[in-house]
Structure 1
Amino acid sequence: MTPEELRGLCLSFNEVVEEFPFRPEISVFKVGGKLFALTSLDAKPLTVNLKCDPEDAIRLRGEYPALIAPGYHMNKRHWNTVTVDGGLPERLVRELVEDSYDLVVAGLPRAERLRLDRP
């Protein structure tokens, strides 16, 4: 997955905004004001921090130890740093990004979830 594809995927979900609160090269993707993906699109290798169910996070780290690690500068229980350089199946990367978005949306107030079309 290229940086442009990753950015496009993150922006493809309802009501997502891209912000740069840390540095101009760090893209932060948010829904409802809450972070669901954080990446430096210029980094080599390309990585992205994604929210993850704690049990899934541990399982994924065990299955892909060279490509999925505890979230860098994040809560290690709920966040993974995923290397997006072609080592993981693109379908899995897409699922992980969508799962991160869904987890964040699930924590939003009900009225906002309904507005996003995500009960």
Structure 2
Amino acid sequence: MPTRIEQLKRRKIDPQMPPNAAPHITDRLIEIGLTEAAGMGAVPLSWREIKAWRESVGLTIEPWEMRLLRRLSAAYLAETRRAESELCPPPWRTQPTAREREIELAELQRLLD
């Protein structure tokens, strides 16, 4: 079954994303890796992994930033697991665009014809 993002792309709908007040934090998280592999699947980033990344790139970051990176990794993993259900709503709410409404109505009309 295609993911939600694949369905949107196939329908030529650009997903609306929430505002990001700290793009440098999310950029760092993506650079480190959103999660890490473990014996039974993915787990949140470990302190060791975050520290190794910080040392390898030569950054001095505040302790609160390291805690935030770990919390974001855990939140990402939790949402990924929750989103496995096709009934799971997106983690933020936006009003549908005119294009999205148009596509939905066209698909509904196609099903009813």
TM-score by length of 2: 0.28
More strand by share: 1
More helix by share: 2
Higher Cα Rg, which structure: 2
